[in-house]
């Protein structure tokens, strides 16, 4: 039996009706219509479905929509503000961190979550964090470069 | 589409009552990662899911010199890993939790959920066992406390009775476990379930081993304490020969199986090699 | 020798043309396409490796509320199809031949209903004896998988050039050994999927395929319609690597359902479905190889016997086997060679095309035997490679004509980058170095005697340029490279150039992405079209600037008189002037290119490709002798791909190829139980993550120029995966003196080998 739940997604409030077994991933893609978050493996390994829930990096394929009633979700679409890309998004373009682009939303959301918790991570910390996002195209070197480019930008404005 | 009731009790008592009344038909959900996956992969079709997510103060990580570390079952791996109390007083746990899966999973999965799967290939239970951890199981009838050795009964089987909820994990005060080491051997990718996992805690004074704990994962139907291997060193002067012998003895206390992460023979060999290696690392920590 | 040139766009570090959509989440992949009234399709697959269908009853499934169509083989023309051998059916006709084989399918209002309906289809099976090992399958008395294919042999290759017996007799050293390579799944993060519609006799299929015309042809054959009745539109593609080149049944089944339901139908493979029956994994091969050398290191003779595992259906495996059998003879100087290769059916997942296309399996054997020979000859392996490396002008025993070639430069650079000589002179216990060389094609004349491409370039009145091309983008950066070529040729900024979606109704025939062909073959076609468009612009500009067309140049969107750049008009000016007048016309030109290659004849002789790319790689590893664990400390990879058109893209190809090579060598690997992959998911099958890549990667491109390539460019995409596993195995031998001959290289194998050696 469908349940009515409320989700705030990228700052906007939604009220949707979902079956109890509906994954947050599918609710975002189908009910809310934000298809930037992808399904890659369905078991939480690849990270293509990464979103932030109340600021916390989450595999949206590993959580039920109804378990997130009342929560605030950030998806890749929420990182674009008035057509302006987030520095991470721009870096992935500038440094070649994205090839086919399918893992890219998850990679960028994961990097965003990292930098929000820790604006000045070391390369090792970035490697460890980003290891949860699989990519088959890039070999990862340019993903690391893209994230470190933004870290360096932060260093530029370090107090 | 699969239908089930989704219940969100706000107290442990309520959760226990619901669990009691639904019996076999209900599944507890803590962090939700495992249960959600089993549902989406059609491995599980419960009548009801009882979520513990709305119980307040279920994810605490507290420390006192007297009681040691007490962790609410709803605490996420990441909460435990990042707790300054854990890093300071239980570096073995910090090291262990930081190598579970990857950060995103550690953000979601709870220690209660982890321990209750009874999965012998998991890391946290191993180091907790090496630190003499106990779990509190709560039901409508009251509470009982078990050691982890008592808690892990068989492959994917714990001592949880019908209607019981694991509510707390307690680790005794660290006292003088100055020597510790954790080795998680993953032969394929760096992140993986261990082929062999070793957790060691040592008390050594003036070259003599006062006490020792050795626990292993991925090498038996349950996470095991290698008691006979411990006996090799307990109360004796620590020598290279004894450390190696402990490894040999530990290899006789495990029952590994062949799988995609290695053959049983190989895992036995790894126990023989990695137990002494872990012990030497633990000894260095005492000296260093 | 390379020709140094300065270009405006070529060689610049540019942003990918379609980058914005990818980082913002706007790019639409196949699972993001929603059509009004769209149904969800699910496929019922054989649970047995070899079984006959005695009966199928779909009546209960049909009656389930929400189900709009159920199809079985009776809804097909029961026509086999396939890239080379037409041995695969859209839905099982009589006998299912592997676990995963498509039996029936359902289209319903949602996925859950479709899934439920599958469970209501009653199939009565008669299990048949199955065979899983190719050598066993070739024995007399083994279960026959395809009628008429005696001993389960799909194809046999028998080639001898020169006289190997005499050549071996003349050799100072003869070495031989046997190597076994394994399946490898593409594991693109996006699985195969399609959305099919049917209207008035015509199918329109949205697919994440990287070869839209080849897909169209095969789908039309399978459905029993003409090609004109099938339109393929490429969606965004989330990685392909050869795995989305329409060798599977996904789109055909979607089309069948769409016709029966009279509604659009979408089928997206789940991840475990992708492992079971989706992209066709790399062809495992057992290769026995024997080589003869002279004391000075020159190769004198080579003989190989290949037994390749076809799986249940052929797909592209025949061509892959052909490449494994013969391609490598274009990397080193060979004269007398003999190859015997068998492609053998087994009751397992059909195997096929995966980046490298047979080369990785062949090099797993050959590059290790080279290393064995080096050891026995007392010659440094890198010197042995150099002694034998081909150079420009070489003609292989099979007729491959090497144009530009900087293989020796690649070897020299790798030697320098990895510190080969210094490290070997100053040995560290348990550390070692290994290397391997490789050759690959820039396109190949495989299909229908065509190794070409076509493209149309038009210049709008606003000066913006639009390329119509059906090659498609799989993520490797094709769109960007083609836009760069057009931009350079026309003299406009890259930002002013865009490229069409690949759509068989709109574009002219394109072979798509395979054989590392697009930069070289399609690039030439785009350049041709752009040059003709520029000529039209210059004709117009010559009137406006009152100068001869030969005196004009173009750059940054301006057309000017060379030598007095202040006399200029914009490209837009020229385009408008040509159009808006009596008898006006738009600026639009058609370009075409066919490479100077030939179809191999019956003896497999013929110059396969218009251009050959080369590479050398080396690994530095450290081995833990107590556990057998191997760490790759440093990796060097140098490629000769002619002019590097898009450096960021090219580096990305090298990086990505290495990751797949590392996976093939060490982290991947699947066990089968009764023909079924035992852990068909990302938890059991481990592809490398960021932490699994070598900490230090030194990569570089040779200074090289291919005169027949667009601005001197050749292909690159597959080269980097070919020698990786062998290089790592060679490094392990150098470190601890043991050689691993089967994939994957696991610590357990290394440890066992060390223990055996020490015993």
CATH of the domain at A9: 3.10.20.30
All residues of chain C having their beta carbon less than 8 Å from the beta carbon of residue A136 are: 186-189, 239, 241, 656, 659-660, 687
Domain range for C465 is 19-26+452-594
Residue B109: closest CA among B66, B153, B156, B52: B52
On whether both C366 and C424 belong to a single domain, the answer is: yes
Given an 8 Å threshold on Cβ–Cβ distance, is B190 in contact with C112? no
Q: What is the pLDDT of residue C3?
A: 45
User: Domain for residue C194, yes or no?
Assistant: yes
Nearest CA in chain B to C744: B188
For residue C219, give how far its alpha carbon lies from the nearest alpha carbon of chain A (Å). 25
Given an 8 Å threshold on Cβ–Cβ distance, is B3 in contact with A63? no
CATH number at residue C322: 3.30.365.10
Q: Does C39 touch chain B (CB under 8 A)?
A: no
What mean pLDDT do residues A11-40 have? 98
Q: What is the pLDDT of residue A158?
A: 54
Identity of the residue in C667, C691, C748 whose CB atom sits nearest the CB atom of B263: C748
Identity of the residue in B2, B5, B33 whose CB atom sits nearest the CB atom of A62: B33
On whether both C510 and C429 belong to a single domain, the answer is: no
Question: For chain B, where are the E strands, in sequence order?
Answer: 5-7, 26-29, 48-51, 61-64, 68-72, 134-139, 142-147, 152-154, 157-158, 165-171, 179-185, 196-205, 208-217, 224-225
User: Domain for residue C679, yes or no?
Assistant: yes
On whether both C608 and C562 belong to a single domain, the answer is: no
Q: What is the pLDDT of residue C2?
A: 41
On whether both A57 and A39 belong to a single domain, the answer is: yes
Number of domains in chain A: 2
pLDDT over 60 at C490, yes or no:
yes
CB B61 within 8 A of CB B86: yes
On whether both A44 and A64 belong to a single domain, the answer is: yes
CATH number at residue C39: 3.90.1170.50
CA distance C114 to C43: 9
On whether both C621 and C566 belong to a single domain, the answer is: no
For residue C635, give how far its alpha carbon lies from the nearest alpha carbon of chain B (Å). 17
Given an 8 Å threshold on Cβ–Cβ distance, is B6 in contact with A57? no
For residue A88, give how far its alpha carbon lies from the nearest alpha carbon of chain B (Å). 19
Q: What is the pLDDT of residue C457?
A: 98
Identity of the residue in A104, A134, A143 whose CB atom sits nearest the CB atom of C22: A104
Given an 8 Å threshold on Cβ–Cβ distance, is A96 in contact with C683? no
List the alpha helices (DSSP H) in C128-228. 134-137, 164-170, 212-223
On whether both A7 and A75 belong to a single domain, the answer is: yes
What length does chain A have? 159
Q: What is the pLDDT of residue B286?
A: 86
Among C537, C561, C594, the domain-final residue is: C594
On whether both C586 and C648 belong to a single domain, the answer is: no
CB C704 within 8 A of CB C406: yes
Confidence of residue C448 (pLDDT cuts 50, 70, 90): confident
On whether both C590 and C717 belong to a single domain, the answer is: no
Residue C9: closest CA among C713, C714, C645: C645
CA distance B86 to B88: 5
For residue A61, give how far its alpha carbon lies from the nearest alpha carbon of chain B (Å). 8
pLDDT over 90 at A157, yes or no:
no
On whether both C228 and C81 belong to a single domain, the answer is: yes
Number of domains in chain C: 3
pLDDT over 50 at C1, yes or no:
no
What length does chain C have? 759
Q: Tell me the pLDDT tens digit for each residue of B118-160.
A: 999 999 999 999 999 999 999 999 999 999 999 999 999 999 9
The complex's ipTM? 0.97
Q: What is the pLDDT of residue C657?
A: 98
All residues of chain C having their beta carbon less than 8 Å from the beta carbon of residue A137 are: 239, 475-476, 652, 656
User: Domain for residue C135, yes or no?
Assistant: no
- The residues pairing with C236 across neighbouring beta strands, listed in sequence order, are C29
pTM over 0.90: yes
Domains of chain B: 5-51 (3.30.43.10), 61-171 (3.30.465.10), 179-287 (3.30.390.50)
On whether both A16 and A43 belong to a single domain, the answer is: yes
On whether both C273 and C304 belong to a single domain, the answer is: no
pLDDT over 70 at A159, yes or no:
no
Count of CB atoms situated within 10 Å of the CB of C431: 18
Q: Tell me the pLDDT tens digit for each residue of C203-220.
A: 999 999 999 999 999 999
On whether both A116 and A139 belong to a single domain, the answer is: yes
On whether both A133 and A152 belong to a single domain, the answer is: yes
User: Domain for residue C147, yes or no?
Assistant: no
CA distance C458 to C496: 12
Domain range for A19 is 3-79
Q: Which of residues 186-215 of C touch B (CB under 8 A)?
A: none
On whether both C640 and C738 belong to a single domain, the answer is: yes
Given an 8 Å threshold on Cβ–Cβ distance, is B189 in contact with C629? no
Q: What is the pLDDT of residue B176?
A: 66
Q: Tell me the pLDDT tens digit for each residue of C233-288.
A: 999 999 999 999 999 999 999 999 999 999 999 999 999 999 999 999 999 999 99
What mean pLDDT do residues C395-423 have? 98
Count of CB atoms situated within 10 Å of the CB of A62: 26
On whether both C269 and C297 belong to a single domain, the answer is: no
Q: Does C692 touch chain B (CB under 8 A)?
A: yes
H or E segment to which residue C467 belongs: strand C465-468
Given an 8 Å threshold on Cβ–Cβ distance, is C746 in contact with B1? no
Least confident interval from B279-288, C123-132, C188-197, C278-287: B279-288
On whether both A132 and A108 belong to a single domain, the answer is: yes
| Mean pLDDT taken over chain B | 95
For residue B190, give how far its alpha carbon lies from the nearest alpha carbon of chain A (Å). 9
Q: Does B3 touch chain A (CB under 8 A)?
A: yes
User: Domain for residue C672, yes or no?
Assistant: yes
pLDDT over 70 at C623, yes or no:
yes
pLDDT over 70 at C5, yes or no:
no
On whether both C215 and C363 belong to a single domain, the answer is: no
Residue C490: closest CA among C457, C525, C449: C457
| Mean pLDDT taken over chain C | 97
| Mean pLDDT taken over chain A | 96
β-strand C336-345 against C299-311: which pairing, if any? parallel
**Is residue B254 reached through a cis peptide bond, with omega within 30 degrees of 0 on the bond before it?**
no
User: Domain for residue C527, yes or no?
Assistant: yes
C-alpha distances (whole Å) from C531 to each of B87, C465, C487, C523, C528 are 66, 13, 10, 12, 5
CATH number at residue A120: 1.10.150.120
Residues of chain B with pLDDT under 50: none
Confidence of residue C697 (pLDDT cuts 50, 70, 90): very high
On whether both A74 and A92 belong to a single domain, the answer is: no
Q: Which residues, 6 or more positions from A153, have their beta carbon under 8 angstroms from its beta carbon?
A: A87
C-alpha distances (whole Å) from C59 to each of B75, C53, C54, C70, C118 are 51, 16, 16, 9, 11
Q: What is the pLDDT of residue C22?
A: 97
On whether both C609 and C569 belong to a single domain, the answer is: no
CB B152 within 8 A of CB B120: yes
């Amino acid at each position: 039996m469908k349940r009515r739940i409320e989700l705030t997604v990228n700052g906007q409030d939604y009220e949707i009706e979902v079956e109890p077994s509906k994954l947050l991933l599918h609710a975002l893609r189908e009910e809310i219509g934000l298809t930037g978050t992808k399904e890659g493996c369905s078991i939480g390994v690849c990270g293509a479905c990464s979103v932030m829930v109340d600021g916390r990096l989450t595999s949206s394929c590993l959580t039920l929509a109804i378990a997130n009633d009342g929560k605030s979700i950030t998806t890749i679409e929420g990182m674009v503000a008035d057509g302006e890309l987030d520095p991470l998004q721009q870096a992935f373009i500038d440094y070649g961190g994205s090839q086919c682009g399918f893992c890219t939303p998850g990679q960028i959301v994961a990097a965003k979550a990292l930098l929000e918790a820790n604006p000045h991570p070391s390369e090792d910390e970035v490697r460890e964090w980003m290891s949860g996002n699989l990519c088959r195209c890039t070999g990862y070197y340019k993903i690391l470069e893209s994230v470190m480019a933004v870290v360096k930008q932060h260093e530029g404005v370090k107090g | 589409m699969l239908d089930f009731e989704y219940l969100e009790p706000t107290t442990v008592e309520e959760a226990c009552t619901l669990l009691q009344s639904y019996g076999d038909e209900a599944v507890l959900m803590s962090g939700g990662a495992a249960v959600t996956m089993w549902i989406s992969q059609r491995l599980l079709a419960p009548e009801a899911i009882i979520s513990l997510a709305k119980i307040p103060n279920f994810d605490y990580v507290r420390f006192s010199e007297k009681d040691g570390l007490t962790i609410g079952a709803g605490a996420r791996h990441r909460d435990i890993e990042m707790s300054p109390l854990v890093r300071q007083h239980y570096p073995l746990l910090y090291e262990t939790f930081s190598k579970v899966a990857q950060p995103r999973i550690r953000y979601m999965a709870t220690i209660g959920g982890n321990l209750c799967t009874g999965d012998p290939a998991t890391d946290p239970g191993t180091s907790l066992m090496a630190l003499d951890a106990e779990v509190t199981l709560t039901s409508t009838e009251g509470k009982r406390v078990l050691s982890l050795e008592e808690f892990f009964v068989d492959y994917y089987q714990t001592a949880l009775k019908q209607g019981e909820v694991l509510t707390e994990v307690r680790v005794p005060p660290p006292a003088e476990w100055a020597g510790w080491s954790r080795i998680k051997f993953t032969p394929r990718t760096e992140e993986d379930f261990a082929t062999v996992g070793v957790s060691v805690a040592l008390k050594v004074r003036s070259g003599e081993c006062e006490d020792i704990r050795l626990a292993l994962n991925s090498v038996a139907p349950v996470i095991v304490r290698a008691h006979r291997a411990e006996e090799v060193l307990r109360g004796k002067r620590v020598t290279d020969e004894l450390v190696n012998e402990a490894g040999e003895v530990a290899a006789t206390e495990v029952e590994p199986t062949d799988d995609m992460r290695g053959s049983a023979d190989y895992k036995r060999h790894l126990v023989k090699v990695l137990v002494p290696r872990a012990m030497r690392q633990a000894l260095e920590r005492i000296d260093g | 020798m390379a020709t140094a040139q300065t270009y405006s766009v070529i060689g610049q570090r540019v942003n990918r043309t379609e980058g914005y959509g990818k980082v913002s989440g706007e790019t639409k992949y196949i699972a993001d396409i929603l059509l009004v009234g769209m149904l969800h399709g699910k496929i019922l697959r054989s649970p047995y490796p070899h079984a006959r269908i005695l009966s199928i009853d779909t009546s209960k499934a049909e009656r389930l509320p929400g189900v709009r169509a159920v199809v079985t083989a009776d809804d097909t023309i029961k026509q086999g199809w396939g890239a080379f051998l037409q041995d695969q059916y859209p839905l099982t006709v009589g006998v299912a031949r592997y676990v995963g084989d498509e039996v029936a399918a359902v289209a319903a209002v949602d996925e859950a209903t479709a899934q439920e309906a599958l469970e209501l289809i009653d199939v009565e099976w008669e299990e048949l004896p199955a065979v899983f090992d190719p050598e066993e399958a070739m024995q007399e008395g083994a279960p026959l998988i395809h009628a008429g294919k005696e001993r389960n042999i799909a194809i046999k290759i028998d080639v001898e050039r020169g006289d190997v017996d005499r050549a071996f007799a003349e050799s100072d050293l003869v070495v031989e050994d046997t190597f076994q390579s394994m399946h490898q799944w593409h594991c693109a993060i996006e699985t195969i999927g399609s959305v099919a519609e049917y209207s008035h006799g015509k199918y329109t299929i949205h697919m994440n395929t990287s070869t839209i015309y080849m897909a169209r042809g095969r789908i039309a054959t399978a459905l029993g319609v003409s090609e004109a009745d099938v339109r393929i539109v490429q969606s965004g593609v989330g990685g392909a690597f050869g795995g989305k080149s329409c060798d599977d049944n996904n789109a055909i089944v979607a089309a069948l359902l769409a016709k029966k339901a009279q509604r659009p139908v979408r089928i997206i493979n789940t991840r475990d479905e992708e492992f079971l029956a989706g992209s066709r994994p790399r062809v495992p091969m057992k290769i026995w190889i024997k080589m003869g050398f002279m004391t000075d290191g020159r190769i004198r003779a080579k003989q190989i016997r290949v037994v390749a595992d076809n799986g249940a259906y052929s797909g592209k495996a025949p061509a892959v086997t052909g490449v494994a059998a013969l391609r490598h003879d274009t990397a080193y100087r060979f004269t007398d060679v003999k190859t015997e290769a068998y492609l053998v059916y087994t009751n397992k997942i059909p195997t096929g095309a995966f980046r490298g296309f047979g080369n990785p399996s062949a090099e797993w054997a050959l590059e290790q035997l080279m290393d064995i020979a080096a050891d026995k000859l007392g010659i440094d392996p890198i010197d042995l490679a150099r002694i034998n490396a081909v150079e420009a002008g070489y003609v292989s025993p099979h007729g491959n004509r090497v144009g530009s070639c900087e293989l020796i430069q690649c070897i020299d650079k790798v030697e320098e980058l990895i510190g080969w000589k210094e490290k070997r002179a100053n040995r560290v216990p348990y550390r070692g170095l290994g290397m391997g060389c490789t050759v690959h094609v820039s396109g190949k004349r495989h299909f229908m005697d065509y190794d070409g491409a076509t493209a149309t370039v038009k210049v709008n009145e606003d000066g913006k340029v639009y390329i119509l091309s059906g090659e498609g983008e799989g993520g490797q950066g094709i769109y960007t490279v083609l836009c760069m070529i057009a931009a350079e040729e026309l003299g406009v900024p890259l930002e002013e150039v865009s490229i069409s979606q690949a759509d068989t109704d709109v574009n002219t025939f394109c072979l798509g992405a395979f054989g590392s062909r697009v930069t070289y073959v399609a690039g030439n076609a785009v350049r041709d079209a752009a040059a003709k468009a520029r000529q039209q612009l210059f004709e117009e500009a010559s009137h406006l600037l009152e100068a001869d067309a030969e005196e004009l140049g173009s750059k940054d969107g301006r057309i000017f008189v060379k030598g007095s750049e202040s006399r200029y008009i914009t490209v837009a000016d020229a385009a408008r002037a040509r159009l808006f007048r009596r008898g006006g016309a738009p600026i639009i030109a058609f370009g075409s290119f066919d490479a100077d290659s030939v179809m191999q004849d019956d003896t497999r002789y013929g110059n396969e490709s218009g251009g050959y790319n080369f590479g050398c790689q080396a690994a530095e590893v450290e081995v833990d002798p107590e556990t057998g664990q191997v760490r790759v400390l440093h990796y060097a990879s140098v490629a000769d791909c002619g002019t590097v058109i898009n450096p960021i893209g090219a580096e990305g190809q090298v990086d990505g190829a290495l990751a797949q090579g590392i996976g093939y060598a060490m982290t991947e690997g699947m066990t089968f139980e009764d023909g079924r992959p035992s852990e068909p998911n990302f938890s059991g099958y481990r592809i490398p993550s960021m932490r699994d890549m070598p900490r230090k990667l030194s990569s570089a491109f040779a200074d090289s120029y291919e005169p027949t390539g667009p601005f001197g460019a050749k292909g690159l995409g597959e080269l980097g995966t070919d020698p990786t596993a062998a290089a790592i195995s060679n490094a392990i031998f150098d470190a601890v003196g043991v050689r691993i001959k089967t994939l994957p290289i696991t610590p357990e194998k290394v440890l066992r080998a060390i223990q055996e050696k020490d015993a």
